Amino acid sequence: MRNRDGFTMLEIILVMAVVVVLITLFLPNMGKLDETVSEQVFDKHVMTIQKSLAQYFILEGDYPVSLAMLSKDSWDNKYGIRLSDDYEYSYQKTENAYQLSVERK
């Protein structure tokens, strides 16, 4: 009988083939996961702005003239939202309402 101290070439090739198959199965899902997380971050960002607008309305009795009044750099820092450079903001105040549009750049 022959003494076997290692793996044969066939065994190594089979293990590599299984690893390649597993990688090809899971790799496409990783891209979808990244896209899903990005959408969730975007949705949370918009919700934060909307909550800050509601808080401003409750405390001040009217909506702000611009979103800059809600930023962390504002005069009193009560509302504390951070406007990201990754998005384009369109905000228009109307009577007792506002129109907010946030889009990715």
Residue 7 in this model has a pLDDT that exceeds 80 = yes
Which has more confidence, 39 or 18? 18
Is 7 in a helix, a strand, or coil?
coil
- Per-residue pLDDT tens digits for 89-103: 888 888 878 888 888
Residue 9 included in any domain: no
Residue 27 included in any domain: no
CA distance 103 to 74: 23
Tokens 């090739």 map to which residue? 13
Residue 6 in this model has a pLDDT that exceeds 60 = yes
Residue 88 included in any domain: yes
> The domain containing residue 71 runs over which residues?
32-104
- Per-residue pLDDT tens digits for 37-81: 888 888 988 888 888 888 888 888 888 888 877 776 554 556 667
Residue 22 included in any domain: no
Domain count for the chain, please give it: 1
- In single-letter form, the type of residue at position 25 comes to L
